Structure 1
Amino acid sequence: MSTHPAKSPASKRLALAAGATLALSLGACASLPESGEPPSGPTAADAHRISVTETGEVLNVPVGAGDMTLSHEARADLAAFARSYVRWGHGALMLSIPTGGGNADAAARLAQEARVWLAEHGVPYGAIHGALHDGSGGDDAPLLLSFMRFEATAPECTPLWRQDLAHPRGGNQAYESFGCANVANLAAMIEDPRDLITPRDETPRDAARRAVVLEHYRDGEQTHAVRTSDERVTVSDAVQ
């Protein structure tokens, strides 16, 4: 009759721990069953991207040797150029003056007038930077104005009649131009394409209004604007 030595509790615990470790190791090697769900495809913004490019806007202002002031046409062009800069411009507005030509004196005179005219139409005076360019060899070299802006180019949307909308590839995936029209409309509507690259700076807070609100708060008064009885009646009638 053979006998086996009894295992101590510590040996049993060690054997159980080794078995658990082996089971975990084997489980890590096993692959998970497929869920049956297709991988998520790209979004419309990923599939149809807006292209933002940096470009320049340029204006040439003719200057004659005997010109004493800007013409009406030049003033109108400068006013439109100023509006474009205020709306879309980034960086400095460059005003380059021709030198060395027969109209150099007239160009310097009209450049100063153009600077004032631009400032009167919304361009900050400090944003107008002066420069010089070679105007020798003639007497009709123009003033050159330029600034940097951004343009958004919409993606090209493939027409539906060129696509197979039956989705032969399966997986319930969107057709090729799905969402492209929305992205193209966004490219056409955005105020400043640079907003797609980086957000704008915050506008400064209204210090005067902030002081009024804090004063009302300290006095225990209402901090919002108080409506008159006429305003309440008008709103009440409008929503009936």
Structure 2
Amino acid sequence: MNRLPFSAALTALALGTAACGPETNRLTPVSNPSIYSVNQPVVQTTNYVFDLSSAGAGLPASEQGRLADWFEGLDLRYGDRVYVQDAGYYGAARDDVASVVGNFGLLLSDGAPVTAGPVAPGAVRVIVTRASASVPGCPIWEDPLVGAPEQTSTNFGCATNSNLAGMIADPNDLVRGQTSRGDRDFVTGTKPVRGYRDRQPTGAK
């Protein structure tokens, strides 16, 4: 069985999606008489693509090892979306990919984004979509001179929203927040609170 060439082709999708927020009504950092923060986080996504060989009965152990090494190289983490796209052998190969993904604490996502080039017959294409958030242009120090009309500083919102973009675990939540799946597990929901309350104070010893 011939291996497919390593195709860690990353497709930078310039999906500059504004991370929610109302219309700015043509406000700009230099012309903003309101208290609305024009400097908002922007979310961009990048697709990483990896093709694997499949014999139709799943992924060989060697291909599963290559996939795990690729995930480690990408530093696969929470917030990443992992998809499977193949040319016909969807069942067993998908299960094998899901098993490898599960070792990184993630689940496969349904569907798959559009990527460049067709999937070769008998091949399995794994796609990792990673989102990043930032506030373009910040900091901004272009405040008018004394005597200009009263307005919000051009740098208003840069610090808060840049920190938010840097700390959020899943930047996709800035575009669309988490939705309930209907499984209300009260034990899981109260576990962080219980752990916080039962923890010994740091100065106890």
TM-score (norm 2): 0.51
Asked if residue 77 in structure 1 is aligned to residue 70 in structure 2, the reply is yes
Partner Cα separation in structure 1 for residue 188 and residue 102 of structure 2? 27
Counterparts of 2:94 and 2:176, CA distance in 1: 34
The answer as to whether partners of 1:167 and 1:175 remain within 8 angstroms in 2 is: no
Q: Is the 8 A contact 1:50 1:152 kept in 2?
A: yes
Amino acid at match of 2:104: H
Amino acid at match of 2:120: G
What does residue 25 of structure 2 align with? none
Aligned residues of 2:140 and 2:154 also touching (Cα < 8 A): no
Question: What's the RMSD between the two structures over aligned residues?
Answer: 4.7
Q: Give, as a single letter, the amino acid of the residue that structure 2 aligns with 1:95.
A: V
- Using the alignment, how far apart are the partners of 1:238 and 1:191 within structure 2? 29
Change (3 A) 1:178 1:165: farther
1:110 Cα deviation (Å)?
6.0
Query: CA offsets, 1:155-198, max 9 Å, x none?
Result: 312543xx356433143x34322332332222222222232234
Q: What is the identity, as a one-letter code, of the residue corresponding to 1:153?
A: S
Q: How many aligned positions are there?
A: 159
| Higher RCO by CA contacts (8 Å cutoff, separation 6 or greater) | 2
The separation in 1 between residues aligned to 2:162 and 2:148, in whole angstroms, is 26
- Closer, same or farther: CA 120–129 of 1 in aligned 2, 3 Å: farther
Match of 1:115 in 2: 98
The structure number with the bigger radius of gyration is 1
1:41 counterpart = 2:33? yes
List gaps (5 residues or longer) in structure 1.
Answer: 1-39, 211-223
Tell me the secondary structure at the aligned position of residue 67 of structure 2: helix
1:111 and 1:146 map into 2 onto residues whose CA distance is 12
Do the aligned partners of residues 178 and 122 (structure 1) sit closer, same or farther apart at CA in structure 2, a change above 3 Å counting? Answer: closer
Q: Tell me the residue number matched to 1:21.
A: none
Provide the identity percentage. Answer: 15
CA distance in 2, matches of 1:150, 1:208: 27
What residue identity is the alignment partner of 1:41?
P
Cα gap change, 1:129/1:70 in structure 2, threshold over 3 Å: closer, same or farther? Answer: farther
The verdict on how the C-alpha distance between 1:208 and 1:82 changes in structure 2, with shifts beyond 3 A counting, is closer
Question: Could you tell me how far apart the structure 1 residues matched to 2:134 and 2:189 are?
Answer: 41
- Specify the SS of the correspondent of 1:238: coil
Q: Which runs of no fewer than 5 residues in structure 2 stay unpaired?
A: 1-31, 113-117
2:85 match: 96
Letter in 2 for 1:167: V
The answer to whether the aligner puts 1:205 opposite 2:197 as a matched pair is no
What residue in structure 2 maps to residue 63 of structure 1? 53
Supply the AA of the counterpart residue of 2:61.
T
